[in-house]
Amino acid sequence: MATEVIMPKAGMSMEVGTVVKWLKKEGDLVEKGEPILEILTDKVNMEVEAEVSGVLLKILAEKEEELPVFTVLAYIGDAGEVIPDQSDKLQEKNTPPADVKPEIEVDQKATEAKDYQKPPGKVRATPASRKEAKKNNIDLIDIDGNGPKGRIQLQDVLDYVAHLDKESKITPLAKRISEVDGIDTSNITGSGFDGKITKRDLPGINEQSTPTFKESESVGETTLIPMKGVRKVIADRMSESYFSVPAVVLNMDVNMTNVKAFREQIRDSIQESTGMKITFTDIITFIVSKALIKYPIMNASLTDEGIVLHHYVNMAMAVDVNNTLKVPVVKGVDKMSLSEVVVAFKDLITRTKENKLSPNEMEGSTFTISNLGGYGISSFSPIINLPNAAILGVNAIIDRVVAVEGEMVIQPMMTLSLTFDHRIVDGAPAAEFLAYLKKLMENPITTLI
């Protein structure tokens, strides 16, 4: 019997996933454990592996389709094996609930409905039809009844739902191709999930065909970027944080002279032991983890039960991947040496940019760092990565004229921007934390003692 390939549930919060691309095509041999497609969850891109060896008999989900978890995406089996009929699923969908008794009307009464005109503003309908209409969020005024005196019956509602389903049974990609190319889809039988029409079902379209438009389609002087997938997830989370958290931002200047000297002193040793270059972000991350252990209120989360203080540091790092924000997490940073921090973050950031993270590596953060210094930003207000109590914005190192022992000298200065949740942290403790962090950064050697 053919084995189903389903949309996995990667994490408790995942409800839908998007097919990014198929790594195999219909008719290809696949081995158990071999990646066969890539999907987009609400957090990361991930590969779906074959659970059995065999032939990829049928692909039901098209590229860029967003489908609920556990949806059947494809079938794997023996060559020539017949897959389950997808029309069965459609029939099940349109079958009335078991607790709803079908209505039986006398045939001669049905003829009365043909000549009956429904009074304006009044809808005659059976209780079962009203229940079904409410379940499908349908206004009965839009349905023509075939019962006595135009009364709407259950079957009338089911027929109307089936009609709407037929109109919607085409993927967004296939629909736009058909609109652009003037293709009539009314008589096309879909081969996709639940009988949905996909790009490959359109006449003259095949896998090698070049689409007649781009995802971000230019129209005149505008460009539409669909709000979906990761972009929608980011938008929802940023809105939730911005509108639900009473956030306060504190800025403090740090003299980076000693950090720069410290980096020069250990750079070769780190390179020799790890094979990697140490960055200012590595040093800042290491120092921040030490400060968080001293000030656990900054390393906290707000729950329904109260404020949870974490006595460990799981550091999240905001990373830009092709104009998409991702926030991977390195766990147990407070227990790491500086060399281990360098290795851990290099590995995590590399795999983030290659879309090779597991959902687990995007969860469980206790604090977040966002570094825009590479763009020359001197100050900004980072948005808290919920449920963290705070986030630290790291800015550019800029030479400025400052007073040192009564003398005006040029020094490498950097502004730290701390955003904190005022429900969890008061202003004074947040300021103390930032002052302590400044002290450590201006004397970085003390963090190794």
Pairing, β 315-317 against β 367-371: parallel
Query: Do 73 and 14 share a domain, yes or no?
Result: yes
Parent domain of 79? 3-83
Q: What is the CATH number of the domain that holds 145?
A: 4.10.320.10
**Strand, coil or helix: 83:** coil
Within-domain flag for 319: yes
| Same domain for 256 and 290 | yes
- For residue 390, the SS3 value is strand
Domain with residue 75: its CATH number is 2.40.50.100
Q: Is 422 a catalytic residue?
A: yes
426 catalytically annotated: yes
Looking at the domain assignment, is residue 406 inside a domain?
yes
Based on the domain organization, do 203 and 151 belong to the same domain? no
φ/ψ (deg, to 5) at 447: -75, -15
Question: Is residue 244 assigned to a domain?
Answer: yes
Q: What is the pLDDT of residue 208?
A: 45
| Nearest to 5, CA basis, from 80, 81, 82, 58 | 58
The verdict on 66 and 175 lying in the same domain is no
Whole-angstrom distance, CA of residue 345 vs CA of residue 329: 9
> In 10 A of CB 227, how many CB atoms?
10
Whether residue 366 is found in the same domain as residue 312: yes
pLDDT tens-place values along the chain, 449 residues long: 789 999 888 766 677 888 888 999 999 999 988 999 988 876 677 888 899 999 999 999 888 788 888 889 999 999 888 887 654 443 443 444 444 444 434 344 444 444 444 444 567 888 788 888 887 777 787 788 887 777 888 888 888 877 665 555 777 667 767 777 778 877 787 776 566 777 778 886 654 444 444 555 555 678 887 777 667 778 888 888 989 999 999 999 999 999 999 999 999 999 999 999 999 999 999 999 999 999 999 999 999 889 999 999 999 999 988 778 889 999 999 999 999 999 999 999 999 888 888 888 888 999 999 999 999 999 999 999 999 999 999 999 999 999 988 899 999 999 999 999 999 999 999 999 999 999 999 999 999 88
For residue 59, count CB atoms less than 10 angstroms from its CB and return exposed for 0-12, middle for 13-18, buried for 19 or more. Answer: buried
303 and 433 inside one domain = yes
Residue 302 placed within a domain: yes
Widest Cα–Cα separation across the chain: 105
Please answer whether residues 191 and 203 qualify as being in contact, where contact means their C-beta atoms are separated by less than 8 angstroms: no
Q: Is 218 in the same domain as 239? A: no
Same domain as 257, residue 181: no
Distance CA 206, CA 29 (A): 21
pLDDT of residue 228: 72
Q: What is the Rg, in whole angstroms, of the alpha carbon atoms belonging to the chain?
A: 30
Amino acid at 60: L
- Give the per-residue pLDDT at 166: 55
The set of residues, in sequence order, having a beta carbon less than 8 Å from that of 252 and lying 6+ positions away, is: 415, 416, 418, 434, 435, 438
Same domain (yes/no): 198, 299:
no
Looking up tokens 């696949």 gives 30
Quick one: 162 and 180 in the same domain? Answer: no
Q: Are 369 and 318 in contact (CB under 8 A)?
A: yes
Question: Which of 47, 42, 43 has its CA nearest to residue 20?
Answer: 47
Domain contains 95: no
- Taking the C-alpha atoms of residue 118 and residue 135, their distance in angstroms, rounded to an integer, is 23
**H-helix or E-strand spanning residue 415:** strand 407-421
User: Is residue 295 domain-resident?
Assistant: yes
Task: Give the domain-ending residue among 226, 245, 267.
Answer: 226
CATH of the domain at 262: 3.30.559.10
Query: Do 67 and 199 share a structural domain?
Result: no
Residue 61, domain member (yes or no): yes
The β-bridge partners of 391 are 368, 419
Q: Are residues 269 and 315 in the same domain?
A: yes
Contact 270, 339 (CB under 8 A): yes
pTM of the model: 0.61
Of 83, 115, 133, at which residue does a domain stop?
83
Distance CA 16, CA 7 (A): 8
- Report d(CA 380, CA 378) in Å as an integer: 7
DSSP secondary structure letters along 53-76: -EEEEEE-S-TT-EEETT-EEEEE
Number of domains within the chain: 4
Give the DSSP H/E element, type plus range, for residue 167: helix 154-168
For residues 409-439, b (16+ Cβ closer than 10 Å) or e, as one string? eeebbbbbbbbbbeebbeeeebeebbeebbe
Is residue 91 situated within a structural domain? no
